[in-house]
Amino acid sequence: MSSVDEKSQKSPSDLETASPPPTGRPASDTGVDGAWKFLNDHRNAAAAGDVAVDIRSLRRKIDFHVVPLMFCCYTMQFLDKVILNYAAVMGLHDDLKLVGNQFSNIATFLFVGLICFEVPNIWFLQMVPAAKWLGINVTLWGVATACGAAAFNYQTLLVSRIFLGIFEATVGPSLMLISSQWYTKSEQAPRFSFWYLGLGLGQIIGGAVSYAFQHVAPGAGLAGWRIMFVALGVVTVVIGLCTMFFMPDTPMKARWLTDVEKVALLKHVSVNQTGIESRKFRPKQILEAACDPQMWLLTLSVVLLSVSSGVVTTYSATLIRNLGYTPKKAALMNMPSGVVSIFFTLLVGFGIRMRSHRWAWIILCIIPAIIGGALMSFLPTTNRSGILAGIYLVNAVVAPLTIFYNWTAANFGGATKRAFATAIISGSFSLGNIIGPQTFQARDAPQFRPAKLAVMGTQAGCALTTFLLFLYYVWENKRRGARLETEESFMEPEVWATLTDRENKRFRYTY
């Protein structure tokens, strides 16, 4: 069974009976999370009338204010990235005179920029509020997307995509950290799925947008793909600004929550044992993360998983067009891929909430992806329906990434260690996306069989490493014993101590 699940119907306790803080200094100076300082300063918030808070109603209120912004950010992040896929069938090759593997390089270097910025991003993720840092970067990558319309050759588009990767580096890690502030471990899974639905919606919208902009008259001042870049860039800038101004930095700073509701929420999420806010950077936690087996099993799993994601993101429209469809129809025929992504993402999100066992849900999604890779690889090109079914089924592989993100947010304690882990896991996703497009070599056109076989092999490898990660978590929890944390101890300073998952003997891993 999964550990450290929560009781969702508790009301705040009388805070007057809580333990005093370890010292009179601010929480950031005492090795205690910022949530403790808020609780210590609001001891009378729940005691005045012993007001009960309905956690279900509070959760819906949080969902309404937080999840839509996260969903919009991830939708535009994926859409801005995938439009290169559609621009490939809208004349981009001819307009920029691309030859050989230049298109694959353009797709790859977005992720090179992303990986390179993950290192400084570790510091920013802890020292700058995640919501503000997310909003700033979403705004800037909207600008980078729009600037892609000005590209006039291979080099200029390459530079635009590198900057897009730099500004995208914080998106996944920021969304992981924000989700972990507001929800318990089991509640996080469906919320991760909600904002991750932006990937599937981005695929659907991308096909429709590409189809619409392909109707731009040939005599217009700009090519259809250039207008598409500008339009989507402007929308992204608007969403980034909204995130900056309307997403609270922490639950303690949410203007739409009362003090009593904030106390109730902090009590509710205290079972996570991962904290809310700590601005002190602790380098020794990075060293601990680098020696942690779960870090490298998660990293390897995400790299293997993301090879297929790179293929889907960059080349699905091209694969469909190579079946003999026109560019307009290829864009529309790629839209069902988004439906498959949405279905599996919702399936794993609610499946984990009801039954847990994250490792099993990952393998459940990998099986149809392997089948899809086999259909793509071994069916004759005359069997268009079978190959299309394979292209669609491969999209099941995008859903497990939410589980790996959820695992990262739930199973790493210590603010610096968790920031480092989210950056590395996000970077490993980029590494897989670098490898994926590079499996498409010009010499293999139009069948690209080596790339299709890579989809099958990497998915099988991911299933194996996921199972090993599950065994590691089971072993660690058994070694630590049966003691589980409850909401009742939420006012103990030890609950909010900025300890890592290894240092905190109360911590239990979720699997």
pLDDT in tens, 45-90: 645 434 577 888 999 999 999 999 999 998 888 887 778 877 877 8
**CA gap 255, 268 in Å, rounded:** 19
Dihedral class, residue 273 (left if φ above 0, else alpha if ψ from -120 to 50, else beta)? left
Q: Which residues of 148-179 are buried (b: 16+ CB within 10 A; e: fewer)?
A: bbebeebeebbbbbbbbbbbbbbbbbbbbbbb
Residue 159 in tokens: 């530079």
Domain of 201, in residue numbers: 27-483+491-496
Question: Within a domain: residue 445?
Answer: yes
What does the block give as tokens for 134? 């997310």
Domain assignment present for residue 182? The answer is yes
Those residues of the chain that have pLDDT short of 50 are 1-29, 46, 48-50, 487
Closest CA to 92 of 289, 283, 318: 318
Q: Say if 509 falls within a structural domain.
A: no
DSSP 219: T
Q: What is the pLDDT of residue 490?
A: 56
Burial of 502 (C-beta count, 10 Å sphere; 0-12/13-18/19+): middle
How many C-beta neighbours within 10 Å does residue 99 have? Answer: 10
Residue 374 burial (C-beta neighbours within 10 Å; 0-12, 13-18, 19+) = middle
Q: What is the CATH number of the domain that holds 451?
A: 1.20.1250.20
Residue with tokens 């998952």: 501
- pTM for this entry: 0.75
Residue linked to tokens 């956690």: 55
In a domain, 449, yes or no: yes
262 near 476, Cβ under 8 Å? no
Query: The tokens of 351 are what?
Result: 């499946």
- Do the domain assignments include residue 170? yes
Residue 497 pairs in a beta bridge with: 32
SS3 category, 482: coil
Instruction: Give me the number of domains the chain comprises.
Output: 1
Residue 11 lies in a domain: no
Residue 357 lies in a domain: yes
pLDDT over 70 for what percent of the chain?
A: 84
pLDDT in tens, 169-226: 888 888 888 888 888 888 888 888 888 888 778 778 877 887 888 777 566 677 888 8
